[in-house]
A = this chain, B = another copy of it.
Amino acid sequence: MYYPQTTFKNTTFHGPSLLKTTRETISKQTLYTQLDLLKSTGRYDCFKLEWHPKYDDNTNWPERKHLFWDCDIAKWIEAACYFLMEQYDARLDNAVQEIVGTISSAQQEDGYLNLHYQVVDPGARWTNLRDMHELYNAGHMIEAALSHHQYYHNDLFLGPIVKYVSLMRKTFGARENQIHGYPGHPEIELALLRLYSMTGNEDAYDLARYFLEERGNPSGVNGRHYFDVEAEERGDVPWKRPDAHPMAKSHQYSQAHEPILEQQTIEGHAVRAMYLLTGAADLLCLDKATVQPLGDLRHQWYDAIRRLWDNMVDKKLYLTGGIGAIKQWEGFGIDYFLPQGTDEGGCYAETCAAIGVVMLAERLLEVDLDSRYADMMELCLYNAILTSMSLDGNAFTYTNQLASSHQDKSTREEWFECACCPPNLARLFGSLGGYLWDYGGTKDGAYVNVHLYTTATLAFTIEGEEVIVKQSSAWPWEGKISFTIQAPPTLQLTLRLRVPEWAHGQFKLEPNHACSEQLEKGYIILPPSYTSYTPEFTLDIQGFQPRLIQPHPYTNQQVGAIARGPIVYCAEDIDNPWEHNHFKDVWIPSSTSFRQEWRRDVANKPHEHVAIHTSGYERSYPEWENKPAGTGPGLSVQTPKKISRLQRDLCFIPYYLRANRGGRGQMRVALPLEL
């Protein structure tokens, strides 16, 4: 299998694009800002294993704030190495080397490595796999070490980490003298499988597979659930539980309510679910290469992942690609429970969860090349994810509501105590080239599958011969993409090009080719007979007129949102200064028409976008407002002609642009819709 975290090196963002601009912001600004924050908050030096005043902070049991320091550092290292591979930067390079030095010097004799259990609570390691993020942190360390190894080509980080993996392999497993547990927060599974894929480390494969297979076992320890036994051994009764657990023994939060293969619906913590399923999908991707093939279990794993994917996408996903309505457990509500904001019942849509969707989608494209996965990858990337960082790269959102409210305005923060999202974004964009396309094969049958459009060049070799595929476009604003192919004339190269669902199969290929008329699972197939004789061609994907989209009627959201190409729009008070109630009362008729405005700002490139103007009206509810307080829950139905309304011009901007241009923090993606 291939990993985008490896293959991205073959991609160059060669010309201007929204993705390139964002990557530059991250490399020129975000990584430095985050580095400064790592230093000022104590994270940078934490593996010197000295006491820090923060460790005394025991609010929010059991997730003490320093529990995430290991992974905050690890994700930053991972991101920094991706960008270093592209361009040397002395400051980043020095910092990575210094942190890695302290990490490796902190490792215990037997390989153990974890800030909390080495400094704050020594002697208690592996006693709370459910809550303490011990194995989660180990997972991010593995990923950081892999990235470090790719850049530095040495084992200064990977060596200690492999030793740690070896310790964990001995510690966890089905044997009697092993712990029959698994992490409350999955992550290490996908990290271990990446380690296995890159190094062949069988400890890593075995351990990941054990974690994946054992998870959720209701009778894993003497007929009981591991987390129940573990809690009991700590002296905790079932009713002692973290705030994120709504009920006693509600193991959904830890993705341990059922074994993965038995889960029918996606539940609990959204990030954990995505990381876990990405790991599970990796089992499938790696299957051919392992000594322990899944055999008959293969279709069961695929069915389970696919079933959970379908449940999520069809019933638990926001129009922006965000997942997770519920703040308490940062995760999924019941089917079709997708309120847009806090005042309607919640809208969490954590940045990291959307990143998790991208990771899972990318893996599923390897298992089954189907544009449904790439469509979702693109939806999340340009909307739920891109919206989480300010244009200047210095401020972030952790959650990504679709509508602001009096309680939760549309704003950004510079940093978070649990700072998972900002560096996660940085490592995703660092390796972004790997998500655009995949490639492989032999001279007799090579392929490039293009999932995302932008302006970029892919260069790789097949059996020693170089293949270069170049795409240039004004995506996501325009649908025309120019391709050039440079490949040896004898190479049997098949190019597959995604046609997004919202294009409804409408595209123009120039020069045309009969074979392109039949899409295969959403991809145009350009066979060797085309690619060999057509070094330059253009693909023009339709669907860049504004469209009105709505969620499923069972969501009880009688609303419509504006989308254009892959971009979902929102209204903000900065463009609609009359607004005062978070667009709660602003209705758009389903028959509304749109006017597009190219907003170009040469002085400030990242601000460029297509704004969309339309008209709607503000409804007022005099019959409700005039009802004396405390006099009954219902009113007689108003016929439409009696509804009080005021015509309004409306301006919408891309959702990712929100909270960048001032204003009063009033924003909404989908507005009430009058059919």
Closest to A242 in B: B239
A335 at the interface (CB under 8 A from B): yes
Supposing A556-B557, A556-B558, A628-B372 touch, asked if A634 and B242 sit within 8 A by C-beta, the answer is no
- Asked if A314 and B630 sit within 8 Å, CB to CB, the answer is yes
Choose from B333, B343, B372 the contact partner of A632 (Cβ within 8 Å). B372
Q: A314-B627, A334-B345, A590-B639 are in contact. List 11 more A-B contacts (CB 8 A).
A: A246-B328, A313-B630, A314-B633, A548-B636, A549-B636, A552-B624, A553-B619, A556-B558, A563-B634, A591-B639, A643-B675
Q: State A335–B633 Cα separation when bound (angstroms).
A: 12
A602 at the interface (CB under 8 A from B): no
A240 at the interface (CB under 8 A from B): yes
A560 at the interface (CB under 8 A from B): yes
Q: State A312–B633 Cα separation when bound (angstroms).
A: 9
- Asked if A237 and B240 sit within 8 Å, CB to CB, the answer is yes
A202 at the interface (CB under 8 A from B): no
- Which residues of chain A from 543 to 587 have a CB within 8 Å of any chain B CB? 547-554, 556-558, 560-561, 563, 584
Q: Interface size class for chain A? A: 35 or more
Supposing A61-B237, A639-B591, A640-B675 touch, asked if A344 and B631 sit within 8 A by C-beta, the answer is no
Interface of A is mostly: loop
Shortest distance in angstroms between A631's beta carbon and chain B's nearest beta carbon? 4
Q: Bits for A617-633, please: 1 = Cβ < 8 Å to B, else 0.
A: 00101001001111111
A205 at the interface (CB under 8 A from B): no
- Asked if B621 and A553 sit within 8 Å, CB to CB, the answer is yes
A637 at the interface (CB under 8 A from B): yes
- Asked if A637 and B590 sit within 8 Å, CB to CB, the answer is yes
Q: State A21–B188 Cα separation when bound (angstroms).
A: 66
A303 at the interface (CB under 8 A from B): no
Identify which of A171-179, A316-324, A434-442 touches chain B. Answer: A316-324
A501 surroundings in chain B (CB, below 8 A): 631-632
Q: State A558–B236 Cα separation when bound (angstroms).
A: 46
Q: State A321–B637 Cα separation when bound (angstroms).
A: 18
- Asked if A632 and B313 sit within 8 Å, CB to CB, the answer is yes
- Asked if A550 and B635 sit within 8 Å, CB to CB, the answer is yes
A557 surroundings in chain B (CB, below 8 A): 556
Chain copies in complex? 2
- 9 tightest CB-CB pairs across the interface, nearest first? A549-B634, A240-B240, A310-B630, A317-B633, A310-B629, A548-B637, A372-B631, A313-B630, A243-B247
A630 surroundings in chain B (CB, below 8 A): 306, 309-310, 312-314, 372
- Asked if B584 and A554 sit within 8 Å, CB to CB, the answer is yes
Q: State A237–B239 Cα separation when bound (angstroms).
A: 10
A636 surroundings in chain B (CB, below 8 A): 547-550
Shortest distance in angstroms between A599's beta carbon and chain B's nearest beta carbon? 25
Shortest distance in angstroms between A592's beta carbon and chain B's nearest beta carbon? 10
Provide 26 A-B residue pairs closer than 8 Å at the C-beta atoms, listed in order of the A residue. Answer: A61-B237, A61-B239, A239-B240, A239-B242, A246-B246, A313-B632, A314-B627, A333-B345, A334-B343, A334-B345, A336-B343, A336-B344, A372-B628, A376-B632, A379-B632, A501-B632, A548-B636, A549-B635, A550-B636, A551-B634, A552-B624, A590-B637, A590-B638, A590-B639, A638-B675, A674-B675
Q: Bits for A650-675, please: 1 = Cβ < 8 Å to B, else 0.
A: 00000000000000000000001111
A339 at the interface (CB under 8 A from B): yes
A313 surroundings in chain B (CB, below 8 A): 629-633
- Asked if B243 and A248 sit within 8 Å, CB to CB, the answer is yes
Q: State A144–B31 Cα separation when bound (angstroms).
A: 71
Closest to A318 in B: B633
A241 at the interface (CB under 8 A from B): yes
A236 surroundings in chain B (CB, below 8 A): 240
- Asked if B551 and A633 sit within 8 Å, CB to CB, the answer is yes
A189 at the interface (CB under 8 A from B): no
Q: State A501–B635 Cα separation when bound (angstroms).
A: 10
A396 at the interface (CB under 8 A from B): no
A337 at the interface (CB under 8 A from B): yes
Q: State A628–B306 Cα separation when bound (angstroms).
A: 12
A628 surroundings in chain B (CB, below 8 A): 372
Shortest distance in angstroms between A35's beta carbon and chain B's nearest beta carbon? 35
Q: State A96–B580 Cα separation when bound (angstroms).
A: 62
A375 at the interface (CB under 8 A from B): yes
Shortest distance in angstroms between A229's beta carbon and chain B's nearest beta carbon? 18
Shortest distance in angstroms between A530's beta carbon and chain B's nearest beta carbon? 27
Q: Bits for A34-65, please: 1 = Cβ < 8 Å to B, else 0.
A: 00000000000000000000000000011000
Choose from B243, B590, B624, B639 the contact partner of A675 (Cβ within 8 Å). B639
Q: State A675–B339 Cα separation when bound (angstroms).
A: 22
Shortest distance in angstroms between A570's beta carbon and chain B's nearest beta carbon? 14
Q: Bits for A319-363, please: 1 = Cβ < 8 Å to B, else 0.
A: 101000000100001111101000111000000000000000000
Q: State A552–B631 Cα separation when bound (angstroms).
A: 13
A310 surroundings in chain B (CB, below 8 A): 629-630
Q: State A488–B550 Cα separation when bound (angstroms).
A: 70
Q: Bits for A517-552, please: 1 = Cβ < 8 Å to B, else 0.
A: 000000000000000000000000000000111111
- Asked if A637 and B242 sit within 8 Å, CB to CB, the answer is no
Q: State A634–B242 Cα separation when bound (angstroms).
A: 35
Closest to A628 in B: B372
- Asked if B344 and A556 sit within 8 Å, CB to CB, the answer is yes
A640 surroundings in chain B (CB, below 8 A): 590, 675
- Asked if A637 and B239 sit within 8 Å, CB to CB, the answer is no
Q: Which of A310, A635, A639, A675 has the most CB of B within 10 A?
A: A675
